[in-house]
Structure 1
Amino acid sequence: MTTRPNPQSKAFARYVTTSATKAGFNMSGDGKAKLAEAAGMSEADIAKILNGLFDIPSDPLKPLADALDVGQKELLRAAGVIDDKPARAGTRPISVQLAAQRLGIKSPKNVELFQILVTALVDAEKRR
């Protein structure tokens, strides 16, 4: 018997796919493997997420939050799990592809040249 993906998992798959593409991961190429590596997850789990087959774990703190009449987010903030502070620019390097996209470099040839230039500059910095 085939199980049908639940709507929540399908919506999560769309969100992750869109976000991954915006972050510069090529979802039709090796981007899935790179995403798995960046996330510290297995490629199999990334595939399940992207195919809408990932069972999103229910939050074990939801019953406690309900009993305390507080939001889950508030409970997680009090536990120090989340801080609600906006991410600071530069805290995480972006991919060359995303940098090119943000700079408006669209031609595949120009993206390739941009990547070669960035790689050369990064290597030069390492040798300094």
Structure 2
Amino acid sequence: MSNNATRAGYAMNSSSGDGKAKLAQAAQMPEADISRILAGEYEVPTDLLKPLAAALDIPQKDPLRAAGILEDTPAQANRPLTVQLAAQRLGIKSPKNAAAFEVLVTALVEAEKRHR
């Protein structure tokens, strides 16, 4: 990420530290999170990757790839959508809500099977 930030015009190695502050402001993230990301100590939540990519002026796919969320393999494109992945993509983060979502989806799938 540091290389992308430097290419985007953020002085990440400046003694004043203003590059991190400017990137944090552009990405609408706390500066401490930017520092932790650069140090490899922080896993960026997916909802923050879009503004981060915009701030770095890079394709949104790049930080998704770097985070290990997106792979450019045909196998992933053909992989079936799981209930857990659907919940994640829909932004359902609470374990309690994700469990309820899974129960609901499972019940709906079973109902569809019975009506075939």
Higher relative contact order (CA 8 A, sep 6+): 1
Give me the TM-score of the superposition, normalised by structure 1.
Answer: 0.34
Structure with more of its chain in helix, by fraction: 2
TM-score by length of 2: 0.37
